[in-house]
Amino acid sequence: MSQSEQERAQGTNSISFVGVVAAVVVFAVALAAASLLFAITNNDQTPSASRTVNVTVKEYSVTAPPTALAGDVTFVVTNAGTMPHELLVVLSNALPGQIPLTDSGDPPVPVSSGADKISEDGSVGETGGDPLEPGETRTFTVTDLAAGKYQLLCNIAGHYKNGMWSEFRVL
Ligand SMILES: [Cu+2]
């Protein structure tokens, strides 16, 4: 290779190098723009997404997201267990799983002994009616659910004590 051929070759190489750098920069800018667009779009969609709360109840647990946004919140409750369950949304400052058992019966009323349910005074919404049979899914909406500290729980006799609760904050 003569010196002029080497210069041309180097020249070609440096043009290619500049081309690659330019392509990388264009790609990076496009990626940044795409990320920004996604962030904006995603942010717009977040509020409605977190006003739908999917809940699974079974022996003996309540599985749900830890938070939702205040407003009209829809709960989609599925009984994945082998016995009937229900779901209540209860406003409470008690520690998770520590709401006192004071009641019994259906509807629950205070009792002096043999309590196996919590008081439903703090309940702001529930599946209602008959408990959900195994495999059943039921939806209910709490209108204007206020910010605060809640527990999602099953108040069938003994079920709360056995672990059917989930800490839930409305933001
Ligand atoms: Cu239950």
Domain tally, the chain? 2
User: Residues 37, 81: one domain?
Assistant: no
Q: How confident is the model at residue 63, as a pLDDT?
A: 98
User: Residues 76, 159: one domain?
Assistant: yes
User: Residues 40, 57: one domain?
Assistant: no
Q: Residue 134 belongs to what domain range? A: 52-170
Backbone angles phi, psi at 127, to 5 degrees: -60, -35
DSSP letter at 64 equals -
User: Residues 81, 152: one domain?
Assistant: yes
CA–CA distance, 77 with 55 (Å, rounded to integer): 5
Contact 67, 170 (CB under 8 A): yes
Q: Which residue spans within the chain are E strands per DSSP? A: 52-58, 61-63, 67-68, 71-79, 88-91, 101-104, 109-110, 117-118, 123-126, 137-145, 148-153, 165-170
Span from the CA of 70 to the centroid of ligand 1 (angstroms): 26
User: Residues 18, 5: one domain?
Assistant: yes
User: Residues 31, 67: one domain?
Assistant: no
Span from the CA of 162 to the centroid of ligand 1 (angstroms): 9
User: Residues 25, 67: one domain?
Assistant: no
* Per-residue pLDDT reduced to its tens digit, 100-159: 999 999 999 999 999 999 999 999 999 999 999 999 999 999 999 999 999 999 999 999
User: Residues 87, 106: one domain?
Assistant: yes
Contact 64, 94 (CB under 8 A): no
CA–CA distance, 90 with 79 (Å, rounded to integer): 19
* Per-residue pLDDT reduced to its tens digit, 81-93: 999 999 999 999 9
User: Residues 17, 56: one domain?
Assistant: no
Span from the CA of 39 to the centroid of ligand 1 (angstroms): 39
User: Residues 69, 133: one domain?
Assistant: yes
Q: How confident is the model at residue 10, as a pLDDT?
A: 52
How many other C-beta atoms are found inside a 10 Å radius of the C-beta of residue 112? 7
User: Residues 24, 56: one domain?
Assistant: no
**Residue 130, domain CATH:** 2.60.40.420
* Per-residue pLDDT reduced to its tens digit, 30-81: 545 555 444 444 454 444 448 999 999 999 999 999 999 999 999 999 999 9
Span from the CA of 31 to the centroid of ligand 1 (angstroms): 48
Span from the CA of 1 to the centroid of ligand 1 (angstroms): 85
Q: How confident is the model at residue 31, as a pLDDT?
A: 47
User: Residues 83, 125: one domain?
Assistant: yes
- Give pTM, 2 decimals: 0.72
